[in-house]
């Protein structure tokens, strides 16, 4: 498995807009080939928000890269956020069921 981790930052008063945008595009992301799951991590009290999408393989991460970039840019723009980083990592250990 592979994961794509994206970090967003911006005004805390617009965090709800980002969360709403992420929820709105969730179905679109779920339909990408190789998608295995996603997490949204919200820092307190900091202004960062991290998304992590999990993919069945490195090939699936690569195949979804262009669409993921478009989606990230769209939700960031809608909510006044910036994309601070995007990284791809191998999932070395996973505990619990994959949903």
**pTM summary value:** 0.87
Three-class SS of residue 37?
Answer: strand
CATH (domain of 68): 3.30.70.100
Q: Is residue 67 part of a domain?
A: yes
Q: Is residue 31 part of a domain?
A: yes
Total domains in the chain come to 1
Mean pLDDT of 57-86: 94
**Lookup result for tokens 């980002």:** 18
27-28-32-36 Cα dihedral, nearest 10 degrees: -30
Q: Is residue 95 part of a domain?
A: no
Domain assignment of residue 35, given as a range: 2-90
For residue 44, the model assigns a pLDDT of: 74
Condensed to tens digits (0 to 9), the pLDDT of residues 37-53 reads 999 998 776 668 999 99
């Amino acid at each position: 498995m592979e994961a794509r981790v994206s970090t967003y930052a911006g005004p805390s008063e617009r965090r709800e807009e980002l969360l709403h945008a992420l929820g709105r595009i969730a179905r679109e992301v779920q339909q990408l080939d190789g998608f295995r799951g996603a997490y949204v991590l919200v820092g307190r009290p900091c202004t960062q928000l991290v998304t992590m999408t999990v993919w069945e393989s490195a090939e699936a991460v690569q195949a979804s890269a262009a669409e993921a970039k478009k989606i990230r840019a769209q939700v960031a723009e809608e909510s006044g956020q910036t994309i601070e980083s995007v990284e791809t990592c191998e999932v070395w250990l996973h505990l619990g069921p994959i949903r």
